[in-house]
């Protein structure tokens, strides 16, 4: 048996400031290995309707970068051993100032930082800054990329790499086949801990992917759960993680 690890994606302040911490507790108690905390952006172009809508709600609920920082501090305090990754879009770190943003994240002691629209050749010094501050940047790769491009990107990675399992945006179902599994095998052979995600919503996918990736990322599936189960967010999120880990 391969160890099944779920990196659960969540959005602070969604569905509400308080309930989003219930989401954290539900995810952790359900057995998530790590959290991917998305700092919501007004225009999240790589995300599907579920996450995009959740980001809009979170911003309407008063999310700011400062509140996000407090949110992470609380997670770090309550769950000191839980790996935490932060994901956001370029606009936020760029506006805050990349050196400043990276140093704040480094001080929080997070395990990795994912900014999909700062790819290595248009990164505004993001990767350098992470290395200087001893924070792991987590670049994103996709199936079907040229070997040249794959190497360029993996060269910038630390321990972890994020593999999007297909073209397109988050939230649509993903078929597992030669192209995405092939990519995961390549990354595994090169010694990376791959975080594999996009469109994961079933225990079968998690089981299959666990043979090839270090951890499986699931996000939209939890957003949908939050939307459908307003009265018991904690319990339904917890149950969903348990179900995915079956």
Partner 1 sequence: MQLYNDFFGRFGGRYVAEVLRKPLDELEQSFIAAMSNEGFLSELEYLQKTYIGRPTPLMFAENASNILGGSKIYIKMEGLANTGAHKINNALGQALLAKKMGKSRIIAETGAGQHGVATASVCARLGLDCTVYMGEVDMARQRPNVYLMEMFGAQVVPVSSGSRTLKDAVNEALRDWASSWDTTHYLIGSALGPSPFPDMVREFQSVIGKELVKQIEENVKEDVEALVACVGGGSNSIGFFAPFIEQERPALVGVEAGGRGLGNGEHAARMTGCGVEGIVQGYKSMFLLDSDGQVLPTHSISAGLDYPGIGPQLAHLGETGRVIFTRATDKEALEALRFFARHEGVIFALESAHAGAAAIKLAKEGSPDKAIIVNMSGRGDKDIFITAKIIDGNRWRDFLLSEAGDA
Q: Does 190 bind partner 1 (CB under 8 A)?
A: no
Residues in Cβ contact with 67 at an 8 Å cutoff, skipping those fewer than 6 apart: 12, 13, 17
Of 71-79, 143-151, 189-197, 230-238, the window that binds partner 1 (rule: CB under 8 A) is 143-151
Find the catalytic residue in 47, 123, 129, 201.
Answer: 47
Closest CA to 205 of 51, 6, 52, 1: 6
Find the catalytic residue in 18, 22, 29, 36.
Answer: 36
**Overall residue count recorded for the chain in this entry:** 246
Closest CA to 12 of 103, 118, 108: 108
CB of 83 to partner 1, least distance (A): 23
Rule CB under 8 A: choose which of 2, 18, 42, 159 binds partner 1.
42
CB of 207 to partner 1, least distance (A): 25
CB of 82 to partner 1, least distance (A): 25
Q: What is the DSSP letter of 4?
A: P
Number of amino acids touching partner 1 (CB under 8 A): 40
Rule CB under 8 A: choose which of 65, 69, 82, 207 binds partner 1.
65
CA dist 173 → 3, 48, 143, 144, 153 (Å): 23, 11, 16, 18, 26
CB of 142 to partner 1, least distance (A): 5
Beta bridge partners of 113: 86, 137
Rule CB under 8 A: choose which of 51, 104, 113, 153 binds partner 1.
153
Q: Using CB under 8 A as the criterion, what x/- string covers residues 156-175 for binding partner 1?
A: --------x-xxxx--x---
Of residues 128 and 242, the one with the C-beta less far from partner 1? 128
Which ranges in the chain belong to alpha helices (H)?
17-30, 49-60, 65-78, 91-96, 98-108, 126-132, 147-154, 178-189, 203-210, 220-228, 233-244
CB of 197 to partner 1, least distance (A): 13
**Three-class secondary structure of residue 18 per DSSP:** helix
Of 12-20, 41-49, 182-190, 225-233, the window that binds partner 1 (rule: CB under 8 A) is 41-49
CA dist 155 → 21, 181, 233 (Å): 35, 21, 40
Closest CA to 101 of 72, 74, 81: 72
Give, as ranges, the residues between 78 and 137 that touch partner 1 (CB under 8 A). Answer: 90-96, 116-119, 122, 124
> Annotated catalytic, 36?
yes
Q: Where in the sequence numbering do the catalytic residues fall?
A: 36, 47
Q: Where does this chain bind partner 1 (CB under 8 A)?
A: 41-46, 48-49, 52-53, 56, 59, 64-65, 90-96, 116-119, 122, 124, 140-142, 144-145, 149, 153, 164, 166-169, 172
């Amino acid at each position: 048996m391969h160890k099944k690890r779920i990196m659960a994606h969540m959005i602070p302040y969604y569905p509400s400031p308080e309930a989003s911490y219930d989401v954290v507790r539900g995810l952790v108690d359900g057995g998530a290995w790590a959290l991917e905390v998305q700092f919501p952006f007004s225009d999240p172009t790589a995300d599907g309707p579920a996450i995009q809508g959740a980001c809009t709600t979170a911003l309407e609920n008063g999310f700011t970068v400062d509140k996000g920082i407090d949110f992470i501090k609380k997670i770090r305090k309550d769950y000191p051993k839980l790996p935490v990754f932060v994901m956001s879009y370029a606009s936020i770190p760029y506006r805050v100032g990349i050196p400043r943003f990276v140093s704040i994240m480094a001080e929080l002691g997070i395990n990795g930082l994912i900014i999909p629209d700062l790819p290595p050749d248009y990164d505004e010094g993001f990767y350098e800054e992470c290395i200087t501050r001893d924070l792991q940047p987590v670049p994103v790769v996709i199936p079907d990329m040229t070997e040249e491009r794959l190497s360029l990107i993996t060269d910038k990675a630390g321990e972890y790499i994020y593999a999007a399992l297909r073209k397109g945006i988050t939230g649509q179902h993903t078929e597992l086949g030669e192209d995405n599994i092939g990519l995961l095998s390549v990354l595994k052979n090169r010694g990376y801990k791959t975080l594999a995600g996009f469109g994961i919503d079933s225990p079968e996918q998690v089981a299959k992917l666990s043979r090839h990736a270090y951890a499986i990322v699931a996000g939209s599936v939890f957003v949908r759960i939050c939307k459908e189960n307003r009265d018991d967010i904690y319990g339904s999120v917890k149950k969903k993680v348990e179900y995915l880990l079956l």
